[in-house]
């Protein structure tokens, strides 16, 4: 039986009818058309579907849309600034060639942003451990780690710039 769900997605409030069994990833991709969130497995292992729910990274293939009722959800489409300026982590992935085919990248970037919010200066080992839930079939991870280190530095710079401006 359909139920009504309301959540904020990338800053906009959306209300839709969903089936109780509808996964959050299906809701984002098929109901809202936000196809930047990918589905790379059916075993909850790949991390291509990671989004932020109330600021924390969540594999959206493991959550029901109804579980996000009332939550603030951010997908990769909502990470850049309104004027299109890339988030520092997105810019770092581009700069340091942290992607090849790009299939894993949305989930990788969303996980990396959450990781750096918890640990602003992660070591290489901490990045590798923090991204264990995200699988990349292309890059061998080396450039992803470099990108996350650079993204962490850039995010720290952005935060200090914000504080200085206040």
Q: What does the binding site for ligand FES look like in residue numbers (CB under 6 A)?
A: 39-41, 44-49, 59, 61, 99-105, 136-139
Q: Which is nearer to ligand FES, 24 or 155 (CB)?
A: 24
Sign of CA dihedral 52, 61, 48, 112: positive
Q: State which residue, 101 or 161, has the beta carbon closest to ligand FES.
A: 101
CB of 1 to ligand FES, least distance (A): 26
Strands, E assignment, the chain: 3-9, 12-18, 50-53, 56-59, 72-74
User: Closest approach of Cβ 156 to ligand FES, in Å?
Assistant: 25
Give me the least distance between CB of 126 and ligand FES, in Å please: 20
Cβ 32 to ligand FES, closest distance in Å?
17
The nearer residue to ligand FES, 71 or 108, going by C-beta atoms, is 108
Nearer to ligand FES, 102 or 120 (CB): 102
The smaller minimum CB distance to ligand FES, of residues 67 and 156, is found at 67
The span from the CA of 46 to the CA of 38, in Å, is 10
Tell me how far, at minimum, the Cβ of 35 lies from ligand FES, in Å: 13
Tokens of 10: 């990338």
Q: What does the block give as tokens for 130?
A: 């923090």
Q: How many Cβ atoms from other residues are within 10 Å of residue 138's Cβ?
A: 14
Question: Residue 28 contacts by C-beta under 8 Å, 6 or more apart in sequence?
Answer: 9, 34, 37, 51, 60, 73, 75
How far, in Å, CA of 85 to CA of 38, rounded?
22
């Amino acid at each position: 039986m359909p139920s009504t769900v309301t959540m904020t997605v990338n800053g906009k409030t959306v209300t839709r009818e969903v089936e109780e069994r509808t996964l959050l990833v299906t809701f984002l991709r098929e109901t809202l058309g936000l196809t930047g969130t990918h589905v790379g497995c059916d075993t909850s292992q790949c991390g291509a579907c990671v989004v932020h729910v109330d600021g924390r990274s969540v594999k959206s293939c493991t959550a029901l849309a109804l579980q996000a009722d009332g939550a603030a959800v951010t997908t990769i489409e909502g990470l850049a600034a309104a004027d299109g300026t890339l988030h520092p982590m997105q810019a770092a992935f581009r700069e340091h060639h942290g992607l090849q085919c790009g299939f894993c990248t949305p989930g990788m970037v969303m996980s990396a942003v959450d990781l750096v919010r918890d640990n602003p200066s992660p070591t290489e080992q901490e990045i590798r451990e923090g991204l264990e839930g995200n699988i990349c079939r292309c890059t061998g991870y080396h450039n992803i780690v470099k990108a996350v280190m650079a993204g962490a530095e850039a995010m720290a710079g952005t935060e200090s710039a914000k504080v200085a401006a206040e």
